[in-house]
């Protein structure tokens, strides 16, 4: 029997799934601007209506496609086409709206980088593949959250890899975006500092995790505990 999710109403939008509405709550909690389904596209002859445009009209703008399960090849191909065609980073995020990892601030640079970080791949079917190398030890109990598609020409033909893309809260300016391993890195509000000045004033920018600040924890809690009205009545 074919089943369909019931539309979920939140802030005047009718979301196709409750999961999408939860992510909208999450972003609102962090003052992250978003548009829901602002624009459809035809990609390789197929119609495609991406879920969220996040931080629209800013340097941080990106597409966010929400999936309840590990994405299919077809879904990943569309996301790649969207990134290439629109010039914006595109994430296909399938992890639950919950904190993706424990506190990791104790890791040293060596522990954080571990082995060859380019070698791991994780899929729903296989779990961790050991070819050609294992990921750093700290990642072994964690699950990747998303695929990211880069709009650059070099990314056009690369095999997509799932990765540890985590929402990150900047300690300096509160900007919340998705970054690899939740690394805050260099804050744009401090871009007037040279690398040396930055490190002298704020310490080394990597590794510095921003994935479980009080604001982010509160946003995950708000997302998972939100209750919605059904939106299917057409009212
Ligand atoms: Zn910042």
pTM: 0.89
Instruction: Identify whether 233 is part of a domain.
Output: no
What tens digit of pLDDT does each residue of 73-119 get? Answer: 999 999 999 999 999 999 999 999 999 999 999 998 888 877 554 44
pLDDT beyond 60 at 31:
yes
Instruction: Identify whether 81 is part of a domain.
Output: yes
Q: Measured in angstroms, how far is the CA atom of residue 215 from the centroid of ligand 1?
A: 14
Instruction: Identify whether 232 is part of a domain.
Output: no
Q: Measured in angstroms, how far is the CA atom of residue 138 from the centroid of ligand 1?
A: 26
Q: Measured in angstroms, how far is the CA atom of residue 66 from the centroid of ligand 1?
A: 25
The pLDDT value recorded for residue 120 is 54
Instruction: Identify whether 165 is part of a domain.
Output: yes
pLDDT beyond 70 at 129:
no
The pLDDT value recorded for residue 235 is 38
Residue range of the domain that includes 150: 8-227
Q: Measured in angstroms, how far is the CA atom of residue 169 from the centroid of ligand 1?
A: 8
The pLDDT value recorded for residue 204 is 84
The pLDDT value recorded for residue 43 is 92
C-alpha span between 213 and 134 (Å, rounded):
29
Residues 6 or more apart whose CB falls under 8 angstroms from that of 18 comprise 5, 6, 8, 228
Residues 132-160 have a mean pLDDT of 80
C-alpha span between 25 and 22 (Å, rounded):
5
Instruction: Identify whether 235 is part of a domain.
Output: no
Instruction: Identify whether 3 is part of a domain.
Output: no
Instruction: Identify whether 121 is part of a domain.
Output: yes
Instruction: Identify whether 21 is part of a domain.
Output: yes
Q: Measured in angstroms, how far is the CA atom of residue 186 from the centroid of ligand 1?
A: 7
Domain count, the chain: 1
Q: Measured in angstroms, how far is the CA atom of residue 176 from the centroid of ligand 1?
A: 8
């Amino acid at each position: 029997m074919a089943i369909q999710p019931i539309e979920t109403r939140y802030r005047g939008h009718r979301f196709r799934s409750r999961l999408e509405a939860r992510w909208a709550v999450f972003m609102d909690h962090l003052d992250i601007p978003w548009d829901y389904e602002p624009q459809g596209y035809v990609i390789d002859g197929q119609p495609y209506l991406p879920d969220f445009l996040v931080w629209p009209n800013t340097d941080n703008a990106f597409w966010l496609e929400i999936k309840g399960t590990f994405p299919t090849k077809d879904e990943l191909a569309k996301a790649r086409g969207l990134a290439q065609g629109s010039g914006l980073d595109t994430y296909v995020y399938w992890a639950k709206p919950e904190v993706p990892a424990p506190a990791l601030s104790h890791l040293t640079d060596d522990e954080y980088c571990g082995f060859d970080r380019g070698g791991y791949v994780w899929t729903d079917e296989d779990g961790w593949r050991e070819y050609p190398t294992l990921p750093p030890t700290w990642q072994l109990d964690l699950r990747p959250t998303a695929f990211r598609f880069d709009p650059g020409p070099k990314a056009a033909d690369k095999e997509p890899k799932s990765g540890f893309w985590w929402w990150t809260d900047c300690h300096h300016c509160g900007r919340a975006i998705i970054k690899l391993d939740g690394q805050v890195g260099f804050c744009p509000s401090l871009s007037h500092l040279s690398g040396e000045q930055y490190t002298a004033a704020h310490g080394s920018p990597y590794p510095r995790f921003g994935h479980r600040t009080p604001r982010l924890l509160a946003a995950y809690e708000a997302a998972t505990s939100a209750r919605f009205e059904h939106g299917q009545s057409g009212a």
